[in-house]
Amino acid sequence: MMARLLRRSAAAGLALLAFSSAARAEHDYAPEHAAHTVDALRKRCFISLLCPIGGDNYRLLSDAVAGDREAQYRLGRVLESGNGLPRDLDAATGWYGRAAEQGHATAALALNHRRHDGAAIEADEAKIVAALGV
């Protein structure tokens, strides 16, 4: 009896893990698609246990979409590292660009590093230069 209960619990845990991973992979965190992703996750993330990306990353994503330049920079870091969200260098670059255009100097430096690594950057150069104080 106990062995059957343990097998069912393990199977349920694996199913939840697979569902969570699939849900995480189906969302697009790039700046141009992130508002749609926030809308799609809003109901699920209202209860943190059901949120496929974790409450902290959901709040970070929501704040970045709302225009918070620090959240945009931090979301870029999360996407660059793949720590808690799928690794996506293009999306990270987009968020660095959004933050840099709002005067976030560290994001401007991160964007410059991405450019030196060969990334194609679409951002307002004058705003980024102003953020760097050059």
Q: How confident is the model at residue 24 (pLDDT cuts 50, 70, 90)?
A: very low
CA 71 vs CA 3, 10, 50, 53, 68: distances in Å:
46, 36, 22, 16, 5
- pLDDT of amino acid 5: 52
Which amino acid, residue 133?
G
- pLDDT of amino acid 46: 81
The angle, 0 to 180 degrees and rounded to 10, between the axes of the packed helices 89-101 and 69-81 is 160
pTM for the whole structure: 0.74
In the predicted structure, residue 21 carries a pLDDT above the cut 90:
no
Tell me the pLDDT tens digit for each residue of 28-83.
999 999 999 999 998 888 887 888 888 899 999 999 999 999 999 999 999 999 99
Contact 60, 41 (CB under 8 A): no
